[in-house]
Amino acid sequence: MKFSTQLLCWLSLAASPFFNNAFAIDNGVYTIKSKYSAKFVEVANASTADGANISQWANTNHDTQRWLITQVENNNYSVINLNSGKAMEVFEWSTSDGANVVQYDYSAGATQHWQINSEGNGYVSFINANSQKALDLYDFDGNDGANISQWAYNGSDAQLWQLNKLANVESAPFDPSTTNGATDHWPLTGSLVTHDPTISYENGTWWIFQTGPGIAGKWSNNGVAWNDAAAIFPNGLNWWSNYVPEHDGIDVWAPELKSYNGRSWLYYAISTFGSRVSAIGLTSASSVSAGNWRDDGLVINTTNSNSYNAIDPDLVVAKDGAPWLTFGSWNSGIKLMRINPITMKPFGELYSLASRSGGIEAPTIIYRQGYYYLFVSVGKCCAGTDSTYRIAYGRATDIRGPYLDKNGNNMLSGGGSILDAGNSQWAGPGGQDILNTDVMVRHAYDKGDNGVPKLLISTLNWDSNGWPRF
């Protein structure tokens, strides 16, 4: 039984409308500290397993005591452990006093959603959306390892928690897209030779980075006339060969550039053709124009023992503002992982999004009006005018899928509607990237110029049913 002091407190506060004082906290990474014990909510033993117990412990500065808290709906929040990538929930949807609190893969169910209420003096309570009961330090136990459960709200110190913000998480992604707009293929000039481009816009300047020596780049004042920019790492980085011994030292594949939390992040791949011995690296800068690029090291690597390939990274901002990384690959296809907003590197489960015989790679995911859209390049790349690359897509209501094409076919089973298969001038379009939801960049092989890969930029439009089109 609970201590009598807690019961008395409940009797005195039972009439208070606790659900009316929802506290709109900023999305971010937080620690959760008990007012009663001054200890931190954690997943016991840093477990990554479904059903692992949630308890308290003295401060360890470990990610198992850090939580990604983001608003989901109706003033509710999801609470995701930064070590496991799993959500805090009341076990088996229980509505009983004393029901255990555990972690489980996020399902968006009410038992994984929490209203966070201001209780004054810097403390909050967590009220479960399913049970309407409070996150509770069971039996006022102040010891390391003491259990966290739920109990009818009483406002006692065992139900009061202090949040300490460690990192920001952005707001929902920007969506400027329109419906049934006019197709616009941009009339590009200047330095146009490119492969696997990524595009960004910053303070009046357009930027592109692409496959090539040292992370090669371009810039433009208007998005049409392009100039070469200096490579970020013209001499390569020494650590690349530790993970890809056969690498030539400077060649970098398929960079991905996005601004997040006020910093420019650029993911890239180190690999050799036809091999799963690959690595994704990360560099960042205060801004692209500043050019003060920092080596942030290894993100993820694969060997021949992996069924997938660490290439073609894409930073995705989910509808709650949380970052994810999608990447891959021939072999077992396109993958997805959460990104730690502190380190900007992946953690938690590895999800499979799409696969296809005959080749699939270069994923790009955007969020638009309730759907996540996955764009991929399918077919054969890098063969000039003989390339069969083409851009396919599907959509899902959950970032983890399933992604279905216009005919309802699952992209995990080879589905994917075709957006761009080339034309009389351009062969093998692919290696695409999308800025916000309305600018698509890609390469294609110029049939009128001996199959040289060149830059294409188009306005991406959307039909009345929410499907992309040119």
Q: What local confidence, expressed as pLDDT, does residue 172 receive?
A: 79
Q: Is 42 an active-site residue? A: no
Amino acid making up residue 129: A
Fold of 184-469: Tachylectin-2; Chain A (2.115.10)
User: Whose CA is closest to 448, among 469, 466, 422?
Assistant: 422
Give the C-alpha separation, 34 to 40, whole Å. Answer: 6
Contacts of 457 (CB under 8 A, 6+ apart): 185, 186, 188, 199, 223, 439, 440, 441
Q: Parallel, antiparallel, or unpaired for β 323-328 and 314-317? A: antiparallel
Q: Is 361 an active-site residue? A: yes
Q: What local confidence, expressed as pLDDT, does residue 21 receive?
A: 60
Q: Assess contact for 18 and 152: CB atoms under 8 A.
A: no
Find where tokens 């851009």 sit. Answer: 391
Q: Which CATH number fits domain 4-168: 3.40.50.2300, 2.60.40.10, 2.80.10.50, 1.10.10.10?
A: 2.80.10.50
pLDDT in single tens digits along all 470 residues of the chain? 333 333 333 333 333 334 446 667 899 999 999 999 999 999 999 999 999 999 999 999 999 999 999 999 888 999 999 999 999 999 999 999 999 999 999 999 999 999 999 999 999 999 999 999 999 999 999 999 999 999 999 999 999 999 999 999 987 788 888 776 666 899 999 999 999 999 999 999 999 999 999 999 999 999 999 999 999 999 999 999 999 999 998 999 999 999 999 999 999 999 998 899 999 999 999 999 999 999 999 999 999 999 999 999 999 999 999 999 999 988 899 999 999 999 999 999 999 999 999 899 999 999 999 999 999 999 999 999 999 999 999 999 999 999 999 999 999 999 999 999 999 999 999 999 999 999 999 999 999 999 999 999 999 999 999 999 98
Q: What local confidence, expressed as pLDDT, does residue 182 receive?
A: 67
Which one of 89, 312, 320, 361 is the catalytic residue? Answer: 361
| Omega within 30 of 0 (cis) for the link into 402 | yes
For the beta carbon of residue 20, count every other beta carbon within 10 angstroms: 7
Q: Report residue 52 as tokens.
A: 């692992």
Which one of 63, 136, 141, 196 is the catalytic residue? Answer: 196
Give the start-to-end residue ranges of the domains of the chain. 4-168, 184-469
